[in-house]
């Protein structure tokens, strides 16, 4: 069962900035990061029995939704077959809602109850109704379903389906984490890091991040890597930080891709590999990371770790700057380019930025 969670973005990273003369070997320092408030970020909430079959963004452009196959032939409804789950996976939400309702009512199926909570929470196959979603999540949580506990915890923390109650949300996260939920362990760790619901306890946060990281949660892997890199809550260990960053990067965590690229470029905690680092910077840049775009601009403008390409480097500098990562040194380098080359870079950047605006408009805010 796959669960999705909005990430509480309060991981503290190093604020050192990249700085190197054009003739020297560049040192890609860790990207700057400002702690954000403990607010949901990026992904959908909920504890669905499966990932939604909706389109997912690719590095360069959003993928189209996968074609939905015709419903399969009838399958015996026994303990090994979850028809509601199968319908949900195929995007047949009305069918999933009908089957889940019957299974939850007639058989007391806690997986079906959890799925009903997800369907109501997202308005899939039925009207969007947070209050009903919370009721179904609670029904399953009361019967020991860890994914429902996690989903209900996030509802309580955010005040969905009822008044916000971080204390109750934290208790539900703890119960879900105890039953092995990686997202619950990760979010509980964030509460210990935040230091509002509980007194701040970096060691306890690190323990919870470790639990979730060992279960393959990429957000927890990135968070724990940050702890190892800074020596917060754990003994400083750059090799372990690099190992965790690599794992999270392989799972498409963009922040981890950027920091692992920097570690590879500088040989920090891992063997130096500039070529692999540049490939990761390209990947993260195409996914919209302004920090990666800035570092890639430096690599290309100075020809460090990759063939020099001033026009492409200037393009990424302009794009990064538009994304909020300015760089006075690169401003000067671009200003010194020929008017023709600078115009080409500006045109390429404008095309990229226009594409991003069009993509955002098409996909919604």
pLDDT in tens, 204-223: 999 999 999 999 999 999 99
What is the mean pLDDT of the segment spanning 146-154? 97
Strands (DSSP E) contained in 67-166 are: none
String of DSSP letters for 269-326: SS---HHHHHHHHHHHHHTT-HHHHHHHHHHHHHTSSS---HHHHHHHHHHHHHTT--
Q: b/e per residue, 292-306, with b = 16+ CB within 10 A? A: bbbbbbbbbbbebbb
pLDDT, one tens digit per residue, over 44-58 is 334 443 333 333 333
CB atoms within 10 A of CB 231: 13
- C-alpha span between 186 and 224 (Å, rounded): 10
- C-alpha span between 110 and 183 (Å, rounded): 19
pLDDT bucket at 14, cuts 50 / 70 / 90? very low
Q: Are 88 and 112 in contact (CB under 8 A)?
A: no
What is the mean pLDDT of the segment spanning 250-278? 97
pLDDT bucket at 356, cuts 50 / 70 / 90? low
- C-alpha span between 96 and 84 (Å, rounded): 4
pLDDT, one tens digit per residue, over 79-117 is 434 899 899 999 999 999 999 999 999 989 999 999 999
Please tell me the predicted confidence (pLDDT) of residue 40: 34
Please tell me the predicted confidence (pLDDT) of residue 31: 38
Eight-state DSSP code of residue 61:
S
Please tell me the predicted confidence (pLDDT) of residue 82: 81
């Amino acid at each position: 069962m796959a669960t999705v969670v909005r990430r509480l973005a309060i991981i503290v990273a190093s604020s050192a900035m990249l700085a190197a003369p054009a003739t020297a070997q560049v040192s890609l320092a860790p990207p700057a990061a400002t702690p954000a408030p403990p607010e949901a970020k990026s992904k959908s909430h909920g504890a669905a029995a499966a990932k939604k079959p909706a389109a997912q963004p690719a590095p360069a452009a959003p993928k189209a939704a996968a074609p939905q196959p015709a419903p399969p032939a009838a399958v015996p409804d026994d303990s090994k077959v979850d028809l509601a789950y199968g319908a949900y996976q195929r995007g047949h939400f009305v069918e999933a809602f009908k089957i889940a309702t019957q299974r939850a009512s007639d058989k007391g199926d806690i997986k079906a109850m959890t799925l009903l909570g997800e369907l109501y929470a997202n308005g899939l196959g039925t009207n969007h109704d947070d209050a009903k979603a919370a009721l179904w999540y609670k029904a399953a949580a009361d019967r020991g379903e860890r994914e429902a506990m996690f989903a209900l915890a996030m509802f309580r923390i955010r005040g969905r389906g009822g008044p916000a109650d971080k204390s109750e949300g934290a208790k539900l996260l703890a119960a879900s984490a105890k039953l092995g939920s990686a997202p619950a362990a990760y979010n509980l760790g964030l509460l210990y890091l935040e230091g509002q619901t509980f007194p701040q306890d970096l060691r306890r946060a690190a323990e919870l991040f470790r639990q979730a990281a060992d279960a393959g949660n990429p957000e927890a892997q990135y968070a724990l890597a940050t702890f190892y890199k800074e020596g917060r809550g754990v003994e400083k260990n750059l090799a372990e930080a690099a190992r965790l960053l690599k794992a999270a990067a392989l799972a498409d965590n963009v922040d981890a891709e950027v920091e692992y690229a920097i570690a590879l470029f500088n040989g920090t905690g891992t063997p130096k590999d500039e070529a692999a680092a540049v490939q990761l910077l390209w990947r993260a840049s195409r996914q919209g990371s302004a920090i990666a775009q800035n570092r890639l601009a430096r690599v290309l403008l100075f020809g460090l770790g990759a063939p020099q390409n001033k026009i492409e480097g200037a393009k990424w500098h302009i794009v990064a700057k538009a994304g909020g990562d300015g760089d006075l040194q690169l401003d000067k380098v671009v200003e010194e380019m020929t008017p023709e080359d600078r115009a080409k870079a500006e045109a390429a950047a404008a095309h990229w930025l226009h594409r991003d605006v069009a993509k955002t408009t098409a996909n919604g805010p």
